[in-house]
Chain A
Amino acid sequence: MSYSDNTHGDTHHGDHDDHGPAPGLMRWVTTTNHKDIGTLYLWFSLLMFFIGGAMALIIRAELGAPGIQFVDPMFFNSMTTMHAIVMIFGVVMPAFVGLANWMIPMMIGAPDMALPRLNNWSFWIMPFAFTIMLSTLFMDSGGPAGGWTLYPPLVLQMGDSFAYVIFAIHFMGISSVMGSINIVATIFNMRPPGMTLMHMPMFVWTWLITAFLLVATIPVFAGAVTMLLTDRFFDTSFFSAAGGGDPVMFQHIFWFFGHPEVYILILPAFGIVSSIIPTFARKPLFGYDSMVYATASIAFLSFIVWAHHMFTTGMPLAAELFFMFSTMMISVPTGVKVFNWVSTMWRGSMSFETPMLFAIGFVIMFTIGGLSGLMLAITPADIQYHDTYFVVAHFHYVLVPGAIYSLMAATYYWIPKWTGNMYDETLGKWHFWISTIFVNVLFFPMHFVGLAGMPRRIPDYSLQFADWNFVATIGAFGFGFSQLLFVYIIVKCVKGGEKATGEVWEGARGLEWTVDSPAPYHTFETAPVINESTLTR
């Protein structure tokens, strides 16, 4: 299955529009090119990954031993809060948007995103939003310290820097919504003839559904934080019982956004893994249709499970039963996805280059996180698990060896296409293995201390938790520092290396592999021909 060079769909030569990027720094400020903007997003999230990671290491350093060693409990709380905000809104979401920018037009055979100027704006809002968000840490009244869930009344005890936090959240939201609208518009309007919906690569499908989730839920979140803002500064009492409001109402609104949000953080990862596994198993994705339907049902169900985060708030029995059943339901389509990936591997002809290692790591460790999610869905047991380290273990398994691994897999998979150079395969493997060992040393013990009774969001703990916390801290530093290797590999690959072919991977299918490596600045300015050999299914 290898293509000859003449299948290159890219025919930009001689086109009047055939200019490269503008020279100098202004290229990046004014660019409307989907590849440039994708690159900006990816570098931005890599930078934020280290900022959020540094915060995580402060948290783990404090938790390395019982007693308060390094930071004030208040600062500890702002670290947990800021770490989560940075990782969710500053790392995983922008990185997925960056991949969408780079890959969606190339995967569907479009010349660019549908709304290129909006695209520039969606990106450039982000550095400003995060500068404001992070600057609150240096203000007199400190950074947000009420948890990323922002529950009132606690969050309303924050000083005046609260206004900056809300402002920054609004801007991140605007950026996400604009990015999503752009993705939806691109997928619906820019497909060439022959690229029907049910022929799109899975990554495109999962992003389409994610974009709808974002457009539906970000405004809800924006409304909730605006109500917090007016409660804090303009004497309203949406969430204050003294004025006839209800603090639990906030939790309902928040999680109506928050649960779909956790799927926003994983659906594109499903898409990435569904692209990588078939390539390295040299066998088409098993059950494409059922993958699409499973993704759609996960998205639908994600809107009716939100209160599983609130089983201890004193909901009526009927509500608790409903949310227990709906939450258990959501693991069915999730299971279908896992089974399909395994069947794709089954009787393939597998090779284990770095992207495949990360993708397999994803499937295994995401499944561990999904299974603990299933345990959490059992309401009576969740009453014990809730707000303990068991929950922390659960969501880190789905987010770190889940979402973050998918991002690393994607980077190794597509970086030859982006830079034209192969990355260093040996170092890539080292990166995978070191990360995988440490990530488990880091998060697995959290299941134990959580079950044994250690609450989350605490800076100090009783001595029976000391050993496992120490282990987790070793894992954290090991995992954190091994990511420097990731940066080194990326920089090395950007600077040079063995030249990549257009196809890059032996088993790769799809339009993005029909153009040169590195991908020319403009691709598919005339619609490519879609046929058996250029489709992923």
Chain B
Amino acid sequence: MRSDVSRWMLLAVFLLALPFGASADWGALNMPVGVTEISKEVYTLHMRIFYICCIIGALVFAVMIYSMFAHRKSKGAVAADFHESTAVEIVWTIVPLIILIAMSIPAAKVLVKMEDFSDSDMTIGVTGYQWRWHYSYLDEGIEFYSQLDREHNAARQQGAEVDLEQFGEIYLREVDNPLVVPVGKKIRFLHTAADVIHSWWVPDLSVKKDAIPGFINENWAKIEEPGTYRGKCAELCGRDHGFMPIVVIALEQADYDEWVLDQQNKVAAATIDADRAWEHQELVATGEAVYQSNCMSCHQKEGQGIPGMFPAIGGSHIATGDIDTHIETVLNGVTETAMTGFSGKLSDSELAAVITYQRNAFGNETGDTLQPAALKTFRQGQQQTLLTQPQLVTDTGVN
């Protein structure tokens, strides 16, 4: 009876394995080697401990399997009587201990190197928000938010009839504003978070560090090759934890310098944009786009919200009532709820647009138009109350 079952099972294993073995691309199966000195050393450690584990496993399983065939009662094996040996026990305590010590020395060396934050060439503040990253280049005065690309965001909604194949390997790993850095520079990252704990992880750089609200963590990378490196938030941070990717683009120094100039010009242009007068329709159209990439994950596509968690915008007293309350809600958020303030995350034009949109969509018919310039004035009057998020102003405050 026994061998009957086993024989069937072996056949089943074989048949199950067939279609899988035959199919082609299984993607990467191993840790990436990465593009920094540290990531390469980490990879080496990983492979070394992996091989050690394979050898130990192979030895143990070989003995077991041999024994299972050779020492079975059905073959007439008679049980031996030994059941103790201090010498053997000592050997299999000491030998693994030696292997472990041999392994821990190189591991400790790499760890010490990873924790050496001195002599960095530049510093970037990385703040985690639900569910986007904020980058600020402390020396260049550039700052921006970076979140899941809008097309990917639409594709990942429940019931979205979108062919994911078009995105391929970068599905959910594309952002609107990637982090751009130079190669060959020791970049120091300062991590913190505004709401809950996040974790900034880019496998190719072998960096993963928690972003903890109210605390600042250090980290560093020195990228050796230009390229695009993708990562993800690694610490569960709420509903859209799976949807806050990281994209790092490493450029040669000259290209990087050009990018910096470009960014600085854009900041100047946005100021001009906010000061001009906008058409109502233009605001609504811009607002819809802003809504879809910033608000929809909670308030939902049709503005209906999720009962018990996120209020509906359609018919909301705030979105149809006094506009000042509406502006305040969007700028500052509502403390101790998932509704964080959007002041600073969105530009003045975007803020004015999304508020105008909310007041004229989902059945709300206020007919209001909020000009970016008016919002800017409102916001500047409120500046004081906005300093509720942790700020990475200078690096002097860090250990």
Chain A hits for B237, CB < 8 A: 154
Q: A351 to B1: give the CA distance in the assembly, Å.
A: 13
Interface assignment of B111: CB less than 8 Å from any CB of chain A: yes
Partner of A312, one of B208, B239, B243: B208
- Which single residue of chain A is at the shortest CB-CB distance from B20? A471
Asked if B93 contacts A74 (CB within 8 A), the reply is: no
Partner of A157, one of B27, B88, B165, B338: B338
Nearest chain A CB to B125's CB is how many angstroms away? Answer: 15
Q: A351 to B307: give the CA distance in the assembly, Å.
A: 59
Interface assignment of A313: CB less than 8 Å from any CB of chain B: yes
Do A347 and B67 form a contact, CB below 8 Å, given A154-B197, A157-B338, A283-B80? Answer: yes
Chain B hits for A437, CB < 8 A: 9, 12-13, 16
Interface assignment of A129: CB less than 8 Å from any CB of chain B: no
Asked if A151 contacts B53 (CB within 8 A), the reply is: no
Interface assignment of A324: CB less than 8 Å from any CB of chain B: yes
Asked if A380 contacts B114 (CB within 8 A), the reply is: yes
Chain A hits for B180, CB < 8 A: none
Nearest chain A CB to B332's CB is how many angstroms away? Answer: 15
Interface assignment of A451: CB less than 8 Å from any CB of chain B: yes
Asked if B74 contacts A351 (CB within 8 A), the reply is: yes
Interface assignment of B118: CB less than 8 Å from any CB of chain A: no
Chain A hits for B155, CB < 8 A: 67
Interface assignment of B119: CB less than 8 Å from any CB of chain A: no
Partner of B71, one of A140, A336, A347, A464: A347
Chain A hits for B79, CB < 8 A: 281-283, 347-349
Asked if B29 contacts A464 (CB within 8 A), the reply is: no
Interface assignment of B121: CB less than 8 Å from any CB of chain A: no
Q: A173 to B228: give the CA distance in the assembly, Å.
A: 48
- Which single residue of chain A is at the shortest CB-CB distance from B89? A290
Contact with B along A328-364 (1 / 0, CB 8 A): 1101100110110011111111111000000010011
Q: A433 to B1: give the CA distance in the assembly, Å.
A: 14
A432-449 interface (Cβ within 8 A of B): 433-434, 437, 441, 448
Q: A325 to B104: give the CA distance in the assembly, Å.
A: 7
Interface assignment of B115: CB less than 8 Å from any CB of chain A: yes
Interface assignment of A18: CB less than 8 Å from any CB of chain B: no
Interface assignment of A388: CB less than 8 Å from any CB of chain B: yes
Nearest chain B CB to A66's CB is how many angstroms away? Answer: 5
Nearest chain B CB to A385's CB is how many angstroms away? Answer: 8
Asked if B164 contacts A378 (CB within 8 A), the reply is: no
**How many interface contacts (CB-CB < 8 Å) are there between A and B?**
324
Interface assignment of B362: CB less than 8 Å from any CB of chain A: no
Q: Which of A196-204, A423-431, A527-535 lies on the face that meets chain B?
A: A423-431
B74-94 interface (Cβ within 8 A of A): 74, 77-85, 88-89, 92-93
Partner of B100, one of A329, A343, A453: A329
Asked if A72 contacts B307 (CB within 8 A), the reply is: no
Partner of A289, one of B84, B214, B215, B240: B84
Q: A145 to B241: give the CA distance in the assembly, Å.
A: 11
Nearest chain B CB to A519's CB is how many angstroms away? Answer: 27
Asked if B208 contacts A141 (CB within 8 A), the reply is: no
Chain A hits for B208, CB < 8 A: 312, 383-384, 386-387
B34-68 interface (Cβ within 8 A of A): 38, 41-42, 45-46, 49-50, 52-53, 56-57, 60-61, 63-64, 67-68
Q: A230 to B383: give the CA distance in the assembly, Å.
A: 32
Asked if B64 contacts A380 (CB within 8 A), the reply is: no
Asked if A464 contacts B28 (CB within 8 A), the reply is: yes
Interface assignment of B248: CB less than 8 Å from any CB of chain A: no
- Which single residue of chain A is at the shortest CB-CB distance from B198? A154
Asked if A154 contacts B236 (CB within 8 A), the reply is: yes
Chain A hits for B126, CB < 8 A: none
Partner of B215, one of A248, A388, A434, A459: A248
Do A247 and B213 form a contact, CB below 8 Å, given A154-B196, A336-B93? Answer: yes
Q: A464 to B172: give the CA distance in the assembly, Å.
A: 11
Chain A hits for B235, CB < 8 A: 151, 312, 387
Do A153 and B196 form a contact, CB below 8 Å, given A352-B2, A463-B164? Answer: yes
Q: A154 to B236: give the CA distance in the assembly, Å.
A: 8
Partner of B46, one of A72, A368, A378, A463: A378
Nearest chain A CB to B22's CB is how many angstroms away? Answer: 12
Partner of A332, one of B93, B199, B232, B307: B93
Q: A121 to B214: give the CA distance in the assembly, Å.
A: 44
Do A380 and B107 form a contact, CB below 8 Å, given A159-B308, A467-B27? Answer: yes
B188-242 interface (Cβ within 8 A of A): 191, 195-197, 199, 201, 203, 206-210, 212-215, 217-218, 231-242
Interface assignment of B18: CB less than 8 Å from any CB of chain A: no
Q: A425 to B41: give the CA distance in the assembly, Å.
A: 51
Chain A hits for B157, CB < 8 A: 68
Interface assignment of A491: CB less than 8 Å from any CB of chain B: no
Q: Is the interface of B mostly helix, strand, loop or mixed?
A: mixed
Asked if A380 contacts B9 (CB within 8 A), the reply is: no
Asked if A462 contacts B63 (CB within 8 A), the reply is: no
Chain A hits for B103, CB < 8 A: 328, 378
Q: A67 to B46: give the CA distance in the assembly, Å.
A: 31
Partner of B242, one of A73, A312, A383, A386: A73
Q: A284 to B82: give the CA distance in the assembly, Å.
A: 8
- Which single residue of chain B is at the shortest CB-CB distance from A447? B29
Q: A463 to B170: give the CA distance in the assembly, Å.
A: 8
Chain B hits for A67, CB < 8 A: 155-156, 160, 162, 164
Nearest chain A CB to B216's CB is how many angstroms away? Answer: 9
Q: A363 to B56: give the CA distance in the assembly, Å.
A: 14
Asked if B203 contacts A453 (CB within 8 A), the reply is: yes
Interface assignment of B261: CB less than 8 Å from any CB of chain A: no
Chain B hits for A26, CB < 8 A: none
Interface assignment of B32: CB less than 8 Å from any CB of chain A: yes
Interface assignment of B108: CB less than 8 Å from any CB of chain A: yes
Asked if A457 contacts B236 (CB within 8 A), the reply is: yes
Chain A hits for B110, CB < 8 A: 380
Chain A hits for B53, CB < 8 A: 371-372, 374-375
Interface assignment of A501: CB less than 8 Å from any CB of chain B: no
Chain A hits for B8, CB < 8 A: 433
Asked if B92 contacts A339 (CB within 8 A), the reply is: yes
Contact with B along A283-318 (1 / 0, CB 8 A): 111111110000000000000000000001110010
Do A324 and B111 form a contact, CB below 8 Å, given A349-B78, A350-B72? Answer: yes
Asked if A433 contacts B5 (CB within 8 A), the reply is: yes
Partner of B56, one of A324, A371, A430: A371
Interface assignment of A320: CB less than 8 Å from any CB of chain B: yes
Interface assignment of A146: CB less than 8 Å from any CB of chain B: yes
- Which single residue of chain A is at the shortest CB-CB distance from B94? A332
Interface assignment of B171: CB less than 8 Å from any CB of chain A: yes
Q: A58 to B207: give the CA distance in the assembly, Å.
A: 32
13 CB contacts below 8 A, A to B, read: A68-B158, A77-B238, A313-B210, A328-B103, A329-B100, A360-B64, A387-B234, A426-B1, A429-B6, A453-B232, A458-B232, A462-B173, A471-B20
The 10 A-B residue pairs with the shortest CB-CB distance, nearest first, are: A241-B214, A458-B242, A464-B27, A314-B217, A140-B308, A371-B53, A347-B80, A452-B28, A154-B196, A433-B9
> Contacts A325-B104, A453-B32 given; 20 further ones with Cβ under 8 A?
A67-B155, A153-B213, A242-B214, A282-B79, A283-B83, A312-B210, A313-B210, A344-B83, A346-B80, A347-B77, A349-B73, A350-B67, A351-B72, A380-B38, A380-B107, A433-B8, A437-B16, A457-B236, A459-B242, A463-B167
